[in-house]
Protein backbone atom coordinates (compact mmCIF):
# COMPACT_ATOMS: atom_id res chain seq x y z
CA UNK A 1 0.00 0.00 0.00
CA UNK A 2 1.72 3.13 -1.17
CA UNK A 3 -0.38 5.75 0.58
CA UNK A 4 -1.84 4.13 3.62
CA UNK A 5 -3.83 6.73 5.53
CA UNK A 6 -2.78 7.39 9.08
CA UNK A 7 -4.83 8.24 12.07
CA UNK A 8 -2.76 11.27 12.93
CA UNK A 9 -3.45 12.72 9.48
CA UNK A 10 -7.21 12.35 9.58
CA UNK A 11 -8.83 15.35 7.94
CA UNK A 12 -10.69 17.78 10.16
CA UNK A 13 -14.20 16.84 9.02
CA UNK A 14 -13.63 13.16 9.79
CA UNK A 15 -12.18 14.01 13.21
CA UNK A 16 -15.22 16.16 13.93
CA UNK A 17 -17.48 13.33 12.88
CA UNK A 18 -15.77 10.82 15.17
CA UNK A 19 -15.62 13.30 18.06
CA UNK A 20 -19.34 13.93 17.80
CA UNK A 21 -20.03 10.21 18.06
CA UNK A 22 -18.39 10.16 21.48
CA UNK A 23 -20.53 10.59 24.57
CA UNK A 24 -20.04 14.18 25.73
CA UNK A 25 -17.77 13.49 28.71
CA UNK A 26 -15.38 11.39 26.62
CA UNK A 27 -14.86 14.21 24.17
CA UNK A 28 -12.53 15.79 26.74
CA UNK A 29 -10.02 12.94 26.31
CA UNK A 30 -10.36 13.19 22.54
CA UNK A 31 -9.60 16.91 22.66
CA UNK A 32 -6.58 16.40 24.90
CA UNK A 33 -4.91 14.04 22.40
CA UNK A 34 -3.26 16.65 20.16
CA UNK A 35 -3.89 20.09 18.70
CA UNK A 36 -5.64 18.96 15.52
CA UNK A 37 -7.97 16.71 17.44
CA UNK A 38 -8.58 19.47 19.94
CA UNK A 39 -9.66 22.00 17.35
CA UNK A 40 -11.91 19.50 15.57
CA UNK A 41 -14.27 19.07 18.52
CA UNK A 42 -16.05 21.71 20.55
CA UNK A 43 -14.88 22.19 24.14
CA UNK A 44 -16.50 20.16 26.82
CA UNK A 45 -17.22 22.25 29.83
CA UNK A 46 -19.85 20.48 31.77
CA UNK A 47 -19.11 21.22 35.38
CA UNK A 48 -20.18 18.89 38.17
CA UNK A 49 -22.53 18.35 39.97
CA UNK A 50 -25.20 17.04 37.66
CA UNK A 51 -28.77 16.17 38.36
CA UNK A 52 -30.07 12.99 36.76
CA UNK A 53 -33.63 13.69 35.70
CA UNK A 54 -35.50 10.44 35.94
CA UNK A 55 -38.17 9.78 33.34
CA UNK A 56 -40.46 6.82 33.04
CA UNK A 57 -39.84 4.35 30.20
CA UNK A 58 -37.45 6.70 28.54
CA UNK A 59 -34.71 5.58 26.16
CA UNK A 60 -32.49 8.43 27.18
CA UNK A 61 -30.82 9.64 30.30
CA UNK A 62 -31.04 13.41 30.81
CA UNK A 63 -28.56 15.22 33.00
CA UNK A 64 -28.63 18.83 34.11
CA UNK A 65 -25.33 20.43 34.99
CA UNK A 66 -26.18 22.76 37.85
CA UNK A 67 -23.25 25.17 37.37
CA UNK A 68 -23.64 25.22 33.57
CA UNK A 69 -27.45 25.42 33.76
CA UNK A 70 -27.54 23.15 30.73
CA UNK A 71 -29.12 19.80 30.08
CA UNK A 72 -27.69 17.07 27.90
CA UNK A 73 -28.87 13.64 26.99
CA UNK A 74 -27.35 10.20 26.52
CA UNK A 75 -28.87 7.14 25.06
CA UNK A 76 -29.57 4.86 27.96
CA UNK A 77 -27.33 1.89 28.75
CA UNK A 78 -29.32 -1.34 28.42
CA UNK A 79 -28.60 -1.99 32.12
CA UNK A 80 -30.51 1.17 33.03
CA UNK A 81 -33.80 0.38 31.32
CA UNK A 82 -36.71 0.29 33.74
CA UNK A 83 -34.63 0.52 36.90
CA UNK A 84 -35.27 2.36 40.13
CA UNK A 85 -32.36 4.63 41.05
CA UNK A 86 -31.53 4.10 44.70
CA UNK A 87 -28.14 5.71 45.22
CA UNK A 88 -25.33 7.82 43.79
CA UNK A 89 -21.76 8.43 44.87
CA UNK A 90 -18.60 9.59 43.07
CA UNK A 91 -19.60 8.70 39.52
CA UNK A 92 -21.57 5.55 40.34
CA UNK A 93 -25.31 4.96 40.53
CA UNK A 94 -27.01 2.25 42.57
CA UNK A 95 -29.92 0.74 40.67
CA UNK A 96 -32.63 -1.71 41.65
CA UNK A 97 -34.39 -4.11 39.29
CA UNK A 98 -37.95 -5.42 39.61
CA UNK A 99 -36.64 -8.88 40.50
CA UNK A 100 -34.82 -7.32 43.50
CA UNK A 101 -31.38 -7.59 41.91
CA UNK A 102 -29.22 -4.60 42.68
CA UNK A 103 -26.15 -3.20 40.89
CA UNK A 104 -23.72 -0.32 40.95
CA UNK A 105 -23.29 1.25 37.52
CA UNK A 106 -20.92 3.90 36.24
CA UNK A 107 -22.99 5.26 33.35
CA UNK A 108 -20.08 7.09 31.74
CA UNK A 109 -17.75 4.11 31.72
CA UNK A 110 -20.59 1.66 31.12
CA UNK A 111 -19.27 -0.56 33.88
CA UNK A 112 -21.36 -2.54 36.31
CA UNK A 113 -20.86 -4.28 39.64
CA UNK A 114 -23.52 -6.75 40.75
CA UNK A 115 -24.33 -6.67 44.47
CA UNK A 116 -26.11 -9.54 46.22
CA UNK A 117 -29.83 -9.66 45.45
CA UNK A 118 -32.24 -8.34 48.07
CA UNK A 119 -33.74 -11.82 48.02
CA UNK A 120 -30.87 -12.66 50.39
CA UNK A 121 -32.08 -10.18 53.06
CA UNK A 122 -32.55 -11.79 56.45
CA UNK A 123 -35.82 -11.76 58.43
CA UNK A 124 -37.92 -10.36 55.68
CA UNK A 125 -40.70 -11.92 53.74
CA UNK A 126 -40.09 -10.92 50.16
CA UNK A 127 -42.66 -9.53 47.79
CA UNK A 128 -42.25 -9.09 44.08
CA UNK A 129 -42.16 -5.74 42.32
CA UNK A 130 -45.92 -5.32 42.06
CA UNK A 131 -46.70 -4.27 45.61
CA UNK A 132 -46.47 -0.49 45.92
CA UNK A 133 -47.51 -0.45 49.58
CA UNK A 134 -45.78 -3.36 51.23
CA UNK A 135 -47.12 -4.44 54.61
CA UNK A 136 -44.77 -3.96 57.55
CA UNK A 137 -41.93 -6.44 57.73
CA UNK A 138 -42.25 -7.36 54.13
CA UNK A 139 -39.74 -6.31 51.57
CA UNK A 140 -40.67 -5.12 48.12
CA UNK A 141 -39.22 -3.16 45.24
CA UNK A 142 -40.56 -0.01 46.89
CA UNK A 143 -39.03 -0.59 50.34
CA UNK A 144 -35.57 0.69 49.51
CA UNK A 145 -34.91 4.24 50.66
CA UNK A 146 -31.32 4.48 49.53
CA UNK A 147 -28.09 2.61 48.97
CA UNK A 148 -24.85 4.19 50.17
CA UNK A 149 -21.49 2.78 49.12
CA UNK A 150 -17.81 3.51 49.50
CA UNK A 151 -16.15 5.43 46.67
CA UNK A 152 -14.19 3.68 43.88
CA UNK A 153 -16.04 0.37 44.04
CA UNK A 154 -14.71 -2.60 42.07
CA UNK A 155 -16.17 -6.12 41.75
CA UNK A 156 -13.52 -7.31 44.21
CA UNK A 157 -13.69 -4.40 46.59
CA UNK A 158 -16.96 -2.73 47.45
CA UNK A 159 -18.92 -2.02 50.62
CA UNK A 160 -22.57 -0.94 50.49
CA UNK A 161 -25.26 -0.17 53.03
CA UNK A 162 -28.97 -0.20 52.23
CA UNK A 163 -31.54 1.78 54.20
CA UNK A 164 -34.95 0.20 53.73
CA UNK A 165 -38.30 -0.41 55.32
CA UNK A 166 -41.13 2.04 55.81
CA UNK A 167 -41.89 3.34 58.38
CA UNK A 168 -39.17 1.49 60.33
CA UNK A 169 -35.80 2.05 58.73
CA UNK A 170 -33.48 -0.92 58.86
CA UNK A 171 -29.89 -0.95 57.67
CA UNK A 172 -28.15 -3.84 56.01
CA UNK A 173 -24.74 -4.22 54.44
CA UNK A 174 -22.96 -6.22 51.78
CA UNK A 175 -19.28 -6.53 50.92
CA UNK A 176 -17.30 -7.88 48.00
CA UNK A 177 -16.76 -11.60 48.40
CA UNK A 178 -20.01 -12.03 50.33
CA UNK A 179 -23.10 -13.42 48.70
CA UNK A 180 -25.77 -11.83 50.86
CA UNK A 181 -27.02 -8.77 52.74
CA UNK A 182 -26.49 -8.78 56.50
CA UNK A 183 -28.37 -6.75 59.08
CA UNK A 184 -26.10 -3.97 60.28
CA UNK A 185 -26.32 -4.02 64.02
CA UNK A 186 -24.07 -4.47 67.02
CA UNK A 187 -24.95 -5.18 70.65
CA UNK A 188 -25.04 -1.45 71.37
CA UNK A 189 -27.26 -0.54 68.41
CA UNK A 190 -30.13 -3.02 68.70
CA UNK A 191 -33.72 -2.00 68.00
CA UNK A 192 -32.93 1.24 66.28
CA UNK A 193 -34.80 2.71 63.35
CA UNK A 194 -32.74 4.67 60.88
CA UNK A 195 -33.49 7.67 58.70
CA UNK A 196 -30.35 8.52 56.81
CA UNK A 197 -26.94 7.07 55.96
CA UNK A 198 -23.81 8.79 54.72
CA UNK A 199 -20.36 7.48 53.77
CA UNK A 200 -17.43 9.56 54.90
CA UNK A 201 -13.77 8.85 55.50
CA UNK A 202 -14.06 5.08 55.58
CA UNK A 203 -17.15 4.90 57.80
CA UNK A 204 -20.89 4.71 57.36
CA UNK A 205 -22.63 7.37 59.44
CA UNK A 206 -26.20 6.43 60.31
CA UNK A 207 -28.79 8.62 62.04
CA UNK A 208 -31.77 7.17 63.91
CA UNK A 209 -35.31 8.50 64.36
CA UNK A 210 -34.19 9.76 67.77
CA UNK A 211 -31.29 11.65 66.13
CA UNK A 212 -28.56 9.37 67.49
CA UNK A 213 -25.62 9.13 65.12
CA UNK A 214 -23.50 5.99 64.83
CA UNK A 215 -20.39 5.52 62.71
CA UNK A 216 -20.05 1.94 61.49
CA UNK A 217 -16.69 0.63 60.36
CA UNK A 218 -17.20 -2.28 57.98
CA UNK A 219 -13.57 -2.85 57.04
CA UNK A 220 -13.06 -5.74 59.46
CA UNK A 221 -14.60 -9.20 59.64
CA UNK A 222 -17.56 -7.91 61.64
CA UNK A 223 -18.85 -4.35 61.97
CA UNK A 224 -17.59 -2.09 64.75
CA UNK A 225 -19.45 1.00 65.88
CA UNK A 226 -18.63 4.36 67.43
CA UNK A 227 -21.29 6.60 68.96
CA UNK A 228 -20.87 9.97 67.25
CA UNK A 229 -23.83 11.75 68.84
CA UNK A 230 -26.27 10.60 71.48
CA UNK A 231 -29.96 11.32 71.19
CA UNK A 232 -30.63 14.92 72.30
CA UNK A 233 -33.03 13.97 75.10
CA UNK A 234 -33.86 17.60 75.86
CA UNK A 235 -34.37 18.47 72.22
CA UNK A 236 -32.35 20.80 70.05
CA UNK A 237 -32.16 24.58 70.03
CA UNK A 238 -31.74 26.45 66.76
CA UNK A 239 -30.77 29.95 67.92
CA UNK A 240 -33.94 31.20 69.63
CA UNK A 241 -36.16 28.28 68.64
CA UNK A 242 -36.41 25.09 70.66
CA UNK A 243 -37.61 21.78 69.25
CA UNK A 244 -38.35 19.03 71.79
CA UNK A 245 -37.22 15.49 71.00
CA UNK A 246 -40.82 14.34 70.48
CA UNK A 247 -41.15 16.73 67.54
CA UNK A 248 -37.70 15.87 66.17
CA UNK A 249 -38.78 12.25 66.17
CA UNK A 250 -42.18 12.74 64.60
CA UNK A 251 -42.36 15.69 62.27
CA UNK A 252 -38.83 16.16 60.95
CA UNK A 253 -36.88 14.24 58.36
CA UNK A 254 -33.25 13.98 59.36
CA UNK A 255 -30.28 14.18 57.02
CA UNK A 256 -26.56 13.85 57.55
CA UNK A 257 -24.19 15.78 55.32
CA UNK A 258 -20.51 16.50 55.25
CA UNK A 259 -18.56 19.48 53.95
CA UNK A 260 -15.43 19.12 51.84
CA UNK A 261 -13.40 20.04 54.92
CA UNK A 262 -14.89 17.13 56.83
CA UNK A 263 -17.39 18.98 59.03
CA UNK A 264 -20.48 16.95 59.86
CA UNK A 265 -23.91 18.56 59.58
CA UNK A 266 -27.35 17.59 60.83
CA UNK A 267 -30.28 18.88 58.81
CA UNK A 268 -33.88 18.72 60.02
CA UNK A 269 -36.62 19.22 57.46
CA UNK A 270 -40.35 19.14 58.05
CA UNK A 271 -41.49 15.88 56.50
CA UNK A 272 -44.18 17.41 54.35
CA UNK A 273 -43.69 20.83 52.84
CA UNK A 274 -46.14 23.18 51.24
CA UNK A 275 -45.30 26.47 49.63
CA UNK A 276 -47.66 28.33 51.98
CA UNK A 277 -45.77 27.06 55.00
CA UNK A 278 -42.35 27.26 53.39
CA UNK A 279 -40.66 29.43 55.81
CA UNK A 280 -39.97 29.72 59.34
CA UNK A 281 -37.94 26.86 60.83
CA UNK A 282 -39.19 24.35 58.27
CA UNK A 283 -35.50 23.55 57.85
CA UNK A 284 -32.75 23.85 60.44
CA UNK A 285 -29.04 23.06 60.23
CA UNK A 286 -26.54 22.20 62.96
CA UNK A 287 -22.81 21.56 62.83
CA UNK A 288 -21.22 18.75 64.82
CA UNK A 289 -19.15 19.92 67.74
CA UNK A 290 -18.05 17.08 70.05
CA UNK A 291 -17.00 19.54 72.74
CA UNK A 292 -20.55 20.69 73.36
CA UNK A 293 -23.52 19.00 74.97
CA UNK A 294 -25.68 18.36 73.02
CA UNK A 295 -23.01 18.15 70.38
CA UNK A 296 -24.96 20.01 67.70
CA UNK A 297 -24.31 23.71 67.21
CA UNK A 298 -26.85 25.77 65.23
CA UNK A 299 -25.34 27.42 62.14
CA UNK A 300 -26.45 30.14 59.76
CA UNK A 301 -23.78 29.60 57.14
CA UNK A 302 -22.07 26.63 55.54
CA UNK A 303 -18.68 28.23 54.90
CA UNK A 304 -19.43 29.17 51.28
CA UNK A 305 -20.41 25.67 50.30
CA UNK A 306 -23.81 24.21 49.59
CA UNK A 307 -25.00 20.77 50.62
CA UNK A 308 -26.86 18.50 48.20
CA UNK A 309 -28.95 15.82 49.85
CA UNK A 310 -31.34 13.23 48.52
CA UNK A 311 -31.06 9.69 47.19
CA UNK A 312 -27.29 10.09 47.10
CA UNK A 313 -24.31 10.22 49.36
CA UNK A 314 -24.55 13.84 50.46
CA UNK A 315 -22.44 16.18 48.34
CA UNK A 316 -20.68 19.34 49.36
CA UNK A 317 -20.51 21.78 46.50
CA UNK A 318 -18.24 24.80 46.60
CA UNK A 319 -19.65 27.91 44.96
CA UNK A 320 -16.09 29.24 44.50
CA UNK A 321 -15.62 27.49 41.15
CA UNK A 322 -19.10 28.37 39.94
CA UNK A 323 -19.61 32.10 39.86
CA UNK A 324 -23.24 33.08 40.25
CA UNK A 325 -24.16 29.85 41.96
CA UNK A 326 -25.81 30.03 45.34
CA UNK A 327 -23.78 29.40 48.44
CA UNK A 328 -24.78 28.45 51.96
CA UNK A 329 -27.78 26.54 50.66
CA UNK A 330 -29.18 23.07 51.18
CA UNK A 331 -30.66 21.47 48.05
CA UNK A 332 -33.33 18.80 48.49
CA UNK A 333 -34.48 16.65 45.58
CA UNK A 334 -36.99 14.28 47.12
CA UNK A 335 -38.89 16.63 49.41
CA UNK A 336 -42.60 16.04 48.86
CA UNK A 337 -44.17 19.45 48.32
CA UNK A 338 -47.93 19.87 48.54
CA UNK A 339 -49.35 22.21 45.94
CA UNK A 340 -52.86 23.06 44.88
CA UNK A 341 -53.43 22.57 41.15
CA UNK A 342 -56.92 23.40 39.82
CA UNK A 343 -58.34 23.17 43.32
CA UNK A 344 -56.85 19.68 43.79
CA UNK A 345 -54.01 18.83 46.06
CA UNK A 346 -50.93 17.34 44.42
CA UNK A 347 -47.68 15.99 45.82
CA UNK A 348 -44.60 16.52 43.72
CA UNK A 349 -40.88 16.13 44.18
CA UNK A 350 -39.61 19.60 43.64
CA UNK A 351 -36.07 20.75 43.98
CA UNK A 352 -36.22 22.76 47.13
CA UNK A 353 -33.37 25.16 47.86
CA UNK A 354 -33.04 26.50 51.36
CA UNK A 355 -30.77 29.46 52.01
CA UNK A 356 -29.21 28.78 55.41
CA UNK A 357 -27.75 32.25 55.76
CA UNK A 358 -31.01 34.07 55.03
CA UNK A 359 -33.12 31.45 56.78
CA UNK A 360 -35.58 31.21 53.91
CA UNK A 361 -36.36 29.48 50.64
CA UNK A 362 -34.33 30.50 47.66
CA UNK A 363 -35.55 30.29 44.10
CA UNK A 364 -33.55 27.67 42.23
CA UNK A 365 -31.23 29.20 39.63
CA UNK A 366 -31.71 26.35 37.24
CA UNK A 367 -34.76 25.23 35.31
CA UNK A 368 -35.86 22.75 37.93
CA UNK A 369 -39.33 21.43 37.31
CA UNK A 370 -41.35 19.36 39.72
CA UNK A 371 -40.99 15.66 39.00
CA UNK A 372 -43.07 12.65 39.79
CA UNK A 373 -39.89 10.69 40.43
CA UNK A 374 -37.21 12.46 42.42
CA UNK A 375 -34.10 13.38 40.43
CA UNK A 376 -30.70 12.17 41.65
CA UNK A 377 -27.53 14.14 42.31
CA UNK A 378 -24.61 12.78 40.35
CA UNK A 379 -20.93 13.69 40.31
CA UNK A 380 -19.49 12.38 37.03
CA UNK A 381 -16.29 10.37 37.06
CA UNK A 382 -14.79 8.00 34.56
CA UNK A 383 -12.16 6.77 36.96
Partner 1 sequence: MSEGTKEPDGGEEKVVLKTHDGQEFTVDMATANQSGTLKNLLSEVGSSSNNPQVIPLPSSITSRVLGKVVEYCQRHAAGGGRRGGMQALEQFDEELVELDKDMLLDVTYAAAFLDVPRLLDLTSQAVADAIKNMSVEEVRHYFGVVSDFTEEEEKVIRSECPWAFE
Which residues of the shown chain bind partner 1 in the complex (CB under 8 A)?
1-8, 10-11, 13-14, 17-23, 25-26, 28-35, 37-38, 43-46, 48, 91, 109-110, 379-383
**Shorter beta-carbon distance to partner 1: residue 43 or 135:** 43
In angstroms, the CA 241 to CA 288 distance is 18
Smallest distance from partner 1 to CB 71, Å: 17
Smallest distance from partner 1 to CB 50, Å: 10
3-state helix, strand, coil in the chain (%, to 5): 10, 40, 45
DSSP 8-state assignment for residue 371: B
**Shorter beta-carbon distance to partner 1: residue 243 or 381:** 381
Q: Identify which of 329, 373, 372 has the alpha carbon closest to the alpha carbon of residue 352.
A: 329
Smallest distance from partner 1 to CB 220, Å: 29
**Shorter beta-carbon distance to partner 1: residue 10 or 362:** 10
Smallest distance from partner 1 to CB 143, Å: 33
* Contact criterion met (CB below 8 Å) for 332 and 309: yes
DSSP string, 332-367: EEEEEEEEEETTEEEEEEEEEEEETTTTEEE--SS-
**Shorter beta-carbon distance to partner 1: residue 45 or 183:** 45
DSSP 8-state assignment for residue 29: H
**Shorter beta-carbon distance to partner 1: residue 60 or 99:** 60
Q: Is residue 14 helix, strand or coil?
A: helix
Smallest distance from partner 1 to CB 30, Å: 7
**Shorter beta-carbon distance to partner 1: residue 88 or 162:** 88
Q: What are the helix (H) ranges across 208-334?
A: 245-251
Q: Which residues pair with 160 in a beta bridge?
A: 149, 174
Smallest distance from partner 1 to CB 205, Å: 24
Amino acid sequence: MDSHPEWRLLPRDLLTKIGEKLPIPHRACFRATCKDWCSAVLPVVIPSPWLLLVGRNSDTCTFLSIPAKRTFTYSLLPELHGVQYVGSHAGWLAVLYRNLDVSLINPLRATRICLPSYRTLPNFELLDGSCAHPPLNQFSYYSVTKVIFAANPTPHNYTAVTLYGIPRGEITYAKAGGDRWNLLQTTSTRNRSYEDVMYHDGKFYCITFEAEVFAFDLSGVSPTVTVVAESPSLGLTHFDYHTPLSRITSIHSKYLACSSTGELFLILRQVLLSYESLGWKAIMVWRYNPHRQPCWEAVNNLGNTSLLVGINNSISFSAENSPGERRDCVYFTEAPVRTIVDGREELNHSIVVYDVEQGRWAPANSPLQPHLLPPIWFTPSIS
